[in-house]
Amino acid sequence: MRTKFIFVTGGVLSSLGKGLASASLGALLEARGLSITLVKMDPYINVDPGTMNPLQHGEVFVTDDGAETDLDLGHYERYTRARLSVRNNFTTGQVYDSVISKERRGDYLGGTVQVIPHITDEIKRRIREAAQGVDVTIIEVGGTVGDIESLPFLEAIRQFRVEEGRKNVCFLHLTLVPYIATAGEVKTKPTQHSVNELRRIGIQPDILLCRTDRTLTADIKRKIALFCNVDADAVITAKDVGNIYEVPVNYREEGLDDKVVEVLDIWTGRPKLDEWTRILDVMRHPRETVRIAIVGKYVDLIESYKSLSEALIHGGIGNQCKVELEYLDSEEIETDGVPEVLGQVDGILVPGGFGQRGTEGKIRAIQYARENNVPFFGICLGMQLAVVEFARHLAGLDGANSTEFAEHCRYPVIDLMPDQVGVTAKGGTMRLGAYPCRLQEGTVAHQAYGSKEISERHRHRYEVNNAHREALQEKGLVLSGLSPDGKLVEMVEIPGHPWFVGCQFHPEFKSKPMDPHPLFQAFIAASLERKRGAAA
């Protein structure tokens, strides 16, 4: 079958959930037996989000091939079987950089380089490159219709339908239908204006996803259809949900996938949603509840830890329990001490991060978990700080630290990786992407994975300093995971503790609701055991 294309745009305002909508549609099409991939086009000038503050942009997701991407790619991989790469996320910065590089080489033979056709052609080329070998490609256009920065992308997808043919391209527009309490009714005018803005630049949506807090009546759908020039059955209620994994099932009940395959002239069977139904059943009827503290410095924007929070929920699904998350600001722990709530949780997780701010608060939380036998999980920087805490308080290395925070500390138990020495550029220069790891038999890590050979995704510049490995091991720290050549410490743990594990990589990037990551499943299981023991 010739590849079909679905372009997802958003209107009225940002943060309506285009990423979740795209991922959920991908899940439905996969459930109908189609092979799919997804692409995110971001309109900002940055080459990628790798240098952006998580408080501004949210999480940076990392693919197997080391691309630092938008967090929506995390949604795509969690909801579907698609394994994404550097081709599946590109920005205005990348597009212009490519075109300017071609101009400098003389590829345009002295011609004037313009937005049309050169920028739009580059956008279309990247879409087609990412779409190779699949039945359907879903492309999310970042930003909001009406933004000046999105215009080249919108012009490119307008041209795309002309070139590919009407039956091969579907335009899906996500918009807002708000309920105005004083009027006692939903208002369709924002949707009408948003669609008019699209039509003004030559794009007529085929399907409207209407974000709302209530089910839209047939009369409201007919009104929207009339004023927006779409079929009545193409107006889909995208109702707010308490659980994001309800979205694919809700879209199915609204007939979204039926309308998409009709627009694209595809024949498929009915979708098989047994796995999604099972997941929702576990989440709606959990056997137990477990409470996990996440100690970080980006807690003011929960999107900063999106994959992490979802992986913890997946761990709960694997244990048929509900996971309640308590976000604690590590800077506040630095100034105010360990909060009372830390003694009320069943597990403590310290995630990755960069910079000195809040690190001593994280170390205090790690010390509390170790001394009070609270299950602990340290990821990337969280693992590094666990090593620092162990060195200071158990290995007798007073003043131990990471050279990231104290360049001339007495005991640099965490140091810059050798291949990072002399690197000054910030973007795309860390150890990025999937690397192999060998686990020591009989360790907690080995038991969790059930395998000695694993592969996980990385994003870091610093590592455990090999000069201090022997001293740490002599005092009981177990290096449970190493790189195949034995030079890099990938995992550590403390024996005799109920569950104290740190990993240099980011396991949250590979967790799915139907396939929880083994480390998160084991962490939640240990936290449940602690809760049961306390209740006994």
DSSP three-state, residue 521: helix
- 290 neighbors 317 (Cβ within 8 angstroms): no
Give the DSSP letter of residue 486. S
Task: Say how many C-beta atoms besides its own lie within 10 A of residue 64's C-beta.
Answer: 19
Distances (CA, A) of 482 to 13, 43, 102, 442, 455: 47, 39, 42, 14, 11
In the structure encoding, which two tokens stand for residue 126, read together? 């990247």
In the structure encoding, which two tokens stand for residue 422, read together? 């002399």
- 223 neighbors 262 (Cβ within 8 angstroms): no
H helix or E strand, kind and range, residue 209: strand 207-212
DSSP three-state, residue 502: strand
Burial state string for 323-339 with b = 16 or more CB within 10 A and e = fewer than 16: bebbbbbbbebbeeebb
Q: Distance (Å, rounded) from C-alpha 288 to C-alpha 322? A: 6
Question: What values do phi and psi take at 234, rounded to 5?
Answer: -95, 0
Q: Distance (Å, rounded) from C-alpha 241 to C-alpha 50? A: 30
Q: Decide: residue 285, CB within 10 A, 0-12 exposed, 13-18 middle, 19+ buried.
A: exposed
- 250 neighbors 280 (Cβ within 8 angstroms): no
Q: Distance (Å, rounded) from C-alpha 484 to C-alpha 36? A: 34
Which sequence positions are flagged as catalytic? 380, 506, 508
Q: Is the dihedral of CA 173, 178, 184, 187 positive or negative?
A: negative
Length of the chain as a residue count: 536
Q: Kindly give, in sequence order, each residue whose CB lies less than 8 Å from that of residue 430, ignoring residues fewer than 6 positions away.
A: 50, 420, 458, 459, 460, 461
Q: What does the H/E/C string look like for 36-93?
A: EEEEEEECCCCCCHHHCCHHHHCCCEECCCCCEECCHHHHHHHHCCCCCCHHHEEEHH
DSSP three-state, residue 503: strand
- 155 neighbors 201 (Cβ within 8 angstroms): yes
Q: Decide: residue 422, CB within 10 A, 0-12 exposed, 13-18 middle, 19+ buried.
A: exposed
Nearest to 511 by CA among 89, 69, 86, 79: 79
Question: What values do phi and psi take at 481, rounded to 5?
Answer: -140, 130
